[in-house]
Amino acid sequence: MDQNKTAKRALAQESVEMLRKNIRNYAMYIALAVIFIVFQVLSKVMLGKGLFLTARNITNLINQTGYIAVMAVGMTLVLIICQIDLSVGFGAGFLGACAARLMTMQVPIPLVILLVLALGVLIGLVQGTIIGKIGVPAFVTTLAGEFIFRGLLTLVTEASGTIPITNDAFNALSNGFVPELFTIGKYHGLTLLVGIVAIALIFVMEIRKRRDMMRYSFETISAPLFAFKLAFFAALIGALTVVLAGYKGISWTIIIVVVIVSIYNFILRNTRTGRYIYGMGGNMEAASLSGVNVKRTLIGVFASMGCMTALGGILYASRINSATPTAGMGFELDAIASCYIAGVSTTGGIGSVVNSVVGAFVIMSLTNGLNLIGIGISYQYLIKGIIFICAVALDVRGRGKKAIG
């Protein structure tokens, strides 16, 4: 009996400790949950029914966030190395318009996508070279880029104004869903399958990681807590899968975002390149004297940003089935805000792409929710700005305390 009690107490202690240590990471998810609940309640009160947490709206929200999410991923790296890219707004607009223009010339879709991504990389390489080799500050270089891309966007769309995109395959990138191969009751079969595979994959990876750590006899979290963690992940993904499967299924946007985040997360956490990026952000001179080629790393990070800008441009053009002369306005601000709200350090060296994507969801759920309950665009900006500054202020304070302790 007594033993049981001590074990319970130890478990409680461990849980509290884990929560305390990772509070910054959890804060993001908690914020997202709070936003979801607030909008669900508000929509119920103001419109008579809870419209926010419906399969339809969640699907919509995810597809809406895709282009900002991938740009936030690229931006995270840029901000970690203490740089900034202000050109991604009209950069994305311009690259999206390029895609639309190429399609009007009957270029096959895979080639269109490849060409536009390559053009994005090229743009990043050029900007990175100007910053890294010539030494013009990133703020100035990319501000100039923003002007130039705005001009180019206008040029590309000048002849026809808005360029409509009629290709279904292309438009499916941001609006389409994986095919419904079979159904289970009223549920989308393939979606459920993808969900189950995802959960299984996480289980295998987590268990393997834990086993590895035990083999090295490192301290690991206790078995019950580990089981709880797994169950929590499973429940979260399971719930999302069921919700999506009840509507039209899993969208291509989700797949694209998940693939991109996985690749970037892997690079940042497990490869030398990732280490160099964090090290360079923490102390550029020390990194250089430890053998990091800081110029090449910087140019590489901007090239990756260019690629993500291109992808963001493609997803946005696909989302609205057209390329417009104003596409991309303010995207850079949403992307940067997503990162900062997700705890990327304002002085560099710290940040996670997974968190930044959640940050993008936070920003877009605000937009989506405020739209849903009929708040005007002026108030939307006000509310977003206030929430943004508060979130970063809390983060900065939290860090300050840690640094002294």
Partner 1 sequence: MSDIILEMRNISKSFPGVKALDGVNFTVKTGEIHCLVGENGAGKSTLMKILSGIHRYGSYEGDIIVGGEVMRFHSIRESESAGISIINQELALIPELSVAENIFFGHEIMKGRLIDWNETMRQAEGYLKQVRLNVPPSTPMRELRVGSQQLVEIAKSLSKHARLMILDEPTSSLNEEDSANLLNLLRELKQQGVTIIMISHRLKEVVQIADTVTVLRDGMSVCSLDAAGAPVTESEIIRYMVGRDMANIYPVRAEKNIGDVLFSVKNWSAYDPKLRREVLHDVNLEVRRGEIVGLAGLMGAGRTELALSIFGNTPGYRITGGELVMDGESVRFDSPREAIDHGIGYATEDRKKNGLILIQDIRFNTTFANLKALMKGRVISENEEVVQANRLKDSINIKAPSVQQTVLNLSGGNQQKVVLAKWIFARPKLMILDEPTRGIDVGAKYEIYSLMNEMVSQGMSIIMISSELLEVIGMSDRIYVMCEGRITGEVSGAQATEQNIMHLATDTEVV
The binding site for partner 1 (CB under 8 A) comprises 212-213, 215-216, 218, 270-272, 275, 278-279, 282-283, 285-293, 345, 349-350, 403-405
Beta carbons within 8 Å of 107's beta carbon, 6+ residues apart = 115
Of residues 158 and 285, the one with the C-beta less far from partner 1: 285
- Beta carbon of residue 282, minimum distance to partner 1 (angstroms, whole number): 4
- Beta carbon of residue 290, minimum distance to partner 1 (angstroms, whole number): 4
| Residues 121-126: contacts with CB under 8 Å, at least 24 apart | 121/303, 121/304, 121/306, 121/307, 121/310, 122/306, 123/87, 123/91, 123/95, 123/306, 123/309, 124/302, 124/303, 124/304, 124/305, 124/306, 124/307, 124/309, 125/299, 125/302, 125/303, 125/306
Of residues 222 and 283, the one with the C-beta less far from partner 1: 283
Of residues 261 and 292, the one with the C-beta less far from partner 1: 292
Q: How far is CA 351 from the centre of its chain?
A: 12
- Beta carbon of residue 404, minimum distance to partner 1 (angstroms, whole number): 7
Of residues 350 and 373, the one with the C-beta less far from partner 1: 350
Of residues 46 and 213, the one with the C-beta less far from partner 1: 213
Of residues 171 and 283, the one with the C-beta less far from partner 1: 283
- Beta carbon of residue 211, minimum distance to partner 1 (angstroms, whole number): 11
| Alpha-carbon distances of 394 from 114, 385, 389, 390, rounded to whole Å | 41, 14, 9, 6
- Beta carbon of residue 219, minimum distance to partner 1 (angstroms, whole number): 9
- Beta carbon of residue 269, minimum distance to partner 1 (angstroms, whole number): 8
Of residues 5 and 216, the one with the C-beta less far from partner 1: 216
Are the C-beta atoms of 76 and 393 separated by less than 8 Å? Answer: no
Q: Locate tokens 């057209």: which residue? A: 322
Q: How far is CA 117 from the centre of its chain?
A: 18
Of residues 183 and 347, the one with the C-beta less far from partner 1: 347
CA distance 164 to 101: 9
Among 160, 176, 178, 158, CA closest to 168: 176
Q: Locate tokens 């639309």: which residue? A: 100
CA distance 70 to 66: 6
Of residues 154 and 220, the one with the C-beta less far from partner 1: 220
Angle between helix axes 223-245 and 2-21 (nearest 10 degrees) is: 60
Q: What are the DSSP E strand ranges found in 200-347?
A: 322-323
Q: Which amino acid is at 148?
A: I
- Beta carbon of residue 280, minimum distance to partner 1 (angstroms, whole number): 9
- Beta carbon of residue 34, minimum distance to partner 1 (angstroms, whole number): 29
CA 387, 391, 393, 394 dihedral sign is: positive
- Beta carbon of residue 341, minimum distance to partner 1 (angstroms, whole number): 20
Q: Which amino acid is at 53?
A: L
Of residues 15 and 220, the one with the C-beta less far from partner 1: 220
- Beta carbon of residue 244, minimum distance to partner 1 (angstroms, whole number): 32
User: Tokens at residue 158, please?
Assistant: 């000048």
Angle between helix axes 88-104 and 138-158 (nearest 10 degrees) is: 30
Q: Classify burial at 24, counting beta carbons within 10 Å of its beta carbon; exposed 0-12, middle 13-18, buried 19 or more.
A: middle
